[in-house]
Structure 1
Amino acid sequence: MRHVSAGATGPARTVVSLVGALCAGTLLCALTACSPSSSPTSSSKETATRDEADGGQRVPYWIKGVTPEEVAERLHVTVPAGATDRRAAHQKGFQDDGLLLAFTLPGTDTGEFVEDLAPENPLSHRKAPLPSAAEVEQTTPFTRLGLKEPETLADVTEGPVCAPCQGDLDSLFVAVHPVDAQHSRVYLRGVD
């Protein structure tokens, strides 16, 4: 095989140019075929909800219009009647679905709610945010509900409730954070 210098002329330069153009074209075609969107302005963090010709959707995607009651049922929990600011989301995944439920309770009801969850092990309390919390991107983020991630908050009681759980629920995690002197926000993240 003969090495062609950058200053080559004639047929050798033409071959080098054609090979370069073919490689660039192949790379462009491969990137275009594998890209999540044909739009050059779409963000890779966007969750696809595009209807395709066969009626399917790209996975993962967020199910629209889900209610806190529907998510609570899938998590096998009962939201207390005194709960306010109820928020929920359901992310359809390839193998597992992500379920988010958050609500605010009077402090007196929070302990009873967590006790009724019957965690397999005692929950832990941490005074400070987790050091790596800002670097970790959650698969099912509470930011979807307009809330901060529990891992980024101080004064949080948290832990796994069950894994595996009853029915199709694979795992359930709870975090409780005081929002003021009389109320706490309960965060529930499940995988089913």
Structure 2
Amino acid sequence: MRVKIPAAAADLRAAYQRGFQSDTMLLAFTLPKSDMNAFIETLNLEVPLTHRDTPVNSGNGDTPTTPFAHLGLQEPDTLSDVTEGPVCTDCDGELEWLNIAVHPIDTERNQVYLSGAI
């Protein structure tokens, strides 16, 4: 992913999934809220992240199909109070795209979710 994992990151989890058209890379970790802004700045976002208060709902009763459950985590699409967005939509180099989602765990820490395709 070419993302520098902050020194304060804890509970690192990663996976690589082979897909039909693209392979997906997953990375998740917890990060103290005091380190969050500095980490986000290192990503050089194309557009500002957006905040959503409620889980993603397709309206037809389907559950979101993101693969973070394979890492023993809740899916970011099923959570409320998430800040998210693309890091890059047409990334230079090996990645096709890279997304981030950030969810507060408690008053001190955030759960960071990164997913990308190659």
Q: Same fold (TM over 0.5)?
A: yes
In which range does the TM-score fall when normalised by the shorter chain? over 0.9
- Give 5+ residue unaligned stretches, structure 1: 1-74
What stretches of structure 1 move > 3 A for 4+ residues in a row?
none
Q: 2: CA distance between counterparts of 1:176 and 1:163? A: 18
**Aligned pair 1:121/2:47, yes or no?**
yes
Identity percentage over the alignment?
A: 53
What is the RMSD of the two structures over their aligned residues, measured on CA atoms?
1.5
User: How many residue pairs get matched?
Assistant: 117
Q: 2: CA distance between counterparts of 1:145 and 1:109? A: 23
Larger relative helix fraction: 1
Residue 170 of structure 1 is matched in structure 2 by 96
- Give 5+ residue unaligned stretches, structure 2: none
Report the structure number with the largest CA radius of gyration.
1
| 3-state secondary structure, aligned to 2:41 | helix
| 3-state secondary structure, aligned to 2:70 | helix
Q: How does 1:55-94 map to 2 (within 5 A)?
A: 75-94=1-20
Q: Select the residue among 58, 68, 72 that pairs with 1:142.
A: 68
Q: How does 1:21-32 map to 2 (within 5 A)?
A: none
Q: How big is the shift at 1:132?
A: 2.7
Q: Which structure's relative contact order is higher, taking Cα pairs within 8 Å and 6+ residues apart?
A: 2
Q: 1: CA distance between counterparts of 2:64 and 2:84? A: 19
Larger relative strand fraction: 2
Q: 1: CA distance between counterparts of 2:64 and 2:109? A: 28
| 3-state secondary structure, aligned to 1:79 | coil
Equivalent position amino acid for 2:15 in 1: A
